[in-house]
Structure 1
Amino acid sequence: MPGSVRRHDVIGHVARRIPVRPGGACPRVAVDGPDGAGKTVFADELAAAVRSLGRPVVRVSVDDFHHVRAVRYRQGRDSPQGFWQDSYDYQRFRGDVLEPFAPGGTRRYRPAAHDVDTDTVLDPPPRTARPASVLIVDGLFLHRDEIGDVWDLSVFLDVPFGVTAGRMAHRDGTSPDPGHQGMRRYVEAQRIYFAACTPQQRADILIDNEDFEAPRIVRTTQAPRSPQEASDRSAGGKALDT
């Protein structure tokens, strides 16, 4: 697992906070944050940490549930409102992922509904997750009203737009200036999201991820600890300063 000792400790803290549900139920975990916040890397590292605790994991990205381009751009290719309202197919995401992992769900899920490169709608064969699998989802807007109430644990990676724009420029070749016209669709859509849903407050764990090597837990709820975390503490494990 890449990263510093501090990063390893923060990710381990989140992994131990994921609850264990009775009867083989599957906890659902969200890793949210603006474009360029480091969600995918964080979620992948979190998945590895959860597996190291002996728990099965299913990884899904909401980016595999985009609407087709005709829907995504119907309000204009540069529209922040369009990016906020039309990017993702939440009906498919709920039916293919969230409901199968809900309490009493079948655990038969489909990991993707759309190929963004070819703009093709997908209908892959369903997969069946193991009982008690931890579903870890990364993506934008995961605390919005349509899906914000389903998470057993949610994380928001808080990173300034000046930093995320630089990361996006390195990744996508976009402008490193968050005020650039070409960045308006993405930055202003995030501001709409922040105003409408206050994800920094809704998240169970708020993490400052500006320094990739040294993320910092800003706020965490005092939810009931998982048996693993309780065991670690009773054995003398040192809790993070949150």
Structure 2
Amino acid sequence: MRAQPVTPDGAVAHVVEQVLTADGTVRVLVDGHPSTGTARFADALVGPLRAAGRPVGRVAARDFLRARSVRLEQGRRDPDALLDAWIDVEALNREVLRSVVRRGRYLPSLRDPDTGRSTRAGYVEAPPGTVVVLDGTLALRRGLDVDLGVHLALAPATETRHTPLDDAWQLAAYGRYRREVQPERRADVVVRVDHPDRPALLLR
């Protein structure tokens, strides 16, 4: 891969361009370590996509975590559970990623990530051509039915520096993720963000 320096807006514009080449419903996943700002990047896609005439549904994986009794079964600091058991992949596929295609609607949230209680959200209608923008972490190639995967990449050393001491237990999950999923090889778009103000597209 070669790195092509871009501005932060240029990185967003590149992803928007990729989305607009596809007709019909498009499901986009923005994945990365929490410090990369996946939610901010996903939010930044919304305005340009709407300006281009595409309806947008904005969803966060953190609102589709499994019930606490399931994801914390092995304790609150189990890195394997963080990687394998936290995101309710079945619910996200059923209520969002497949529903928006098959039924023309999606559920914007399922559970409050802090309380674990149902958000009681209602379905949102999705007109033809809707783009669902989903952000998450440790989410690429985990069985989610998405059409475009975007990975905000960090070097391992940067990842370590940007992980708070209380969350250091999570580093084992990110290491396993790099080895097993190889997100920089598997994502459709990779943006290197070790220096957020000076990102770079990694091009094959």
Amino acid at match of 1:46: L
- Tell whether the 8 Å contact from 1:107 to 1:128 is kept in structure 2 after alignment: yes
Instruction: Give the one of 188, 192, 204 matched to 1:204.
Output: 188
Kept in 1: contact 2:57–2:130 (CA 8 A): yes
Query: Structure 1: 5+ residue runs without aligned partners?
Result: 169-173, 176-181, 221-242
Q: Structure 2 CA distance, aligned partners of 1:219 and 1:83?
A: 29
Kindly indicate whether the alpha-carbon contact (under 8 Å) linking 2:97 and 2:146 is maintained by their aligned counterparts in 1: no
Change (3 A) 1:93 1:82: same
Number of residue-to-residue matches in the alignment: 199
* Partner residue, 1:11: 12
Are residue 152 (structure 1) and residue 152 (structure 2) matched? no
Deviation of 1:164 after TM superposition, in Å, equals 4.3
SS of the residue 2:99 aligns to: coil
Q: Distance in 2 between matches of 1:61 and 1:166?
A: 25
| Aligned-residue offset at 1:107 | 1.8
**How do 1:96-107 and structure 2 match up within 5 A?**
96-102=95-101, 105-107=102-104
Q: Counterpart in 1 of 2:70?
A: 71
Q: In the TM superposition, what is the alpha-carbon distance from 1:153 to its structure 2 partner?
A: 1.6
Aligned to 1:122: 119
Deviations 1:162-190 (A, max 9, x none): 4445555xxxxx32xxxxxx334311111
Please report how far the alpha carbon of residue 121 of structure 1 lies from its aligned counterpart in structure 2 after TM superposition: 2.6
Q: CA RMSD in A?
A: 2.0
Kindly state the Cα deviation for residue 40 of structure 1 after the two structures are TM-superposed. 0.7
1:24-35 → structure 2 map (5 Å cutoff):
25-35=24-34
Report the equivalent of 1:43.
Answer: 42
* Structure 2 Cα separation of the partners of residues 112 and 165 of structure 1: 30
Secondary structure at 2:34 match in 1:
coil
- Letter aligned with residue 202 of structure 1: R
Contact preservation (8 Å) 2:30, 2:135: yes
Q: Residue 10 of structure 1: SS of its match in structure 2?
A: helix
Q: 1:205 to 1:67 in 2, by over 3 A?
A: same
TM-score in terms of structure 2 length:
0.88
Shift of 1:106: 1.3
Structure 1 residues 167 and 53: alpha-carbon distance in aligned structure 2, compared to 1, 3 A threshold = farther
SS at structure 1 position matched to 2:149 = strand
Cα distance in 1 between the residues matched to 2:21 and 2:124: 22
User: Structure 1 length normalisation: TM-score?
Assistant: 0.75
Q: Does the residue aligned with 1:101 lie in a helix, a strand or coil?
A: helix
Q: Distance in 2 between matches of 1:146 and 1:191?
A: 19
Q: Distance in 2 between matches of 1:55 and 1:108?
A: 15
How has the CA–CA distance of structure 1 residues 20 and 101 changed in structure 2, closer, same or farther, with 3 Å as cutoff? farther
SS at match of 1:55: coil
| SS class of match (1:81) | helix
Deviation, structure 1 residue 21:
4.3
Structure 2 contact 30–149 (Cα < 8 Å) conserved:
yes
Q: Distance in 2 between matches of 1:201 and 1:184?
A: 25
Q: Rg: which structure is higher?
A: 1
Contact kept in structure 2, 1:72 and 1:82, CA below 8 Å? yes
Cα distance change of structure 1 residues 184 and 117 upon mapping to structure 2, 3 Å threshold: same
Measured in 2, the distance between the counterparts of 1:75 and 1:10 equals 38
Q: Percent identity?
A: 28
Give the aligned residue type for 2:150: V
Amino acid at match of 2:130: S
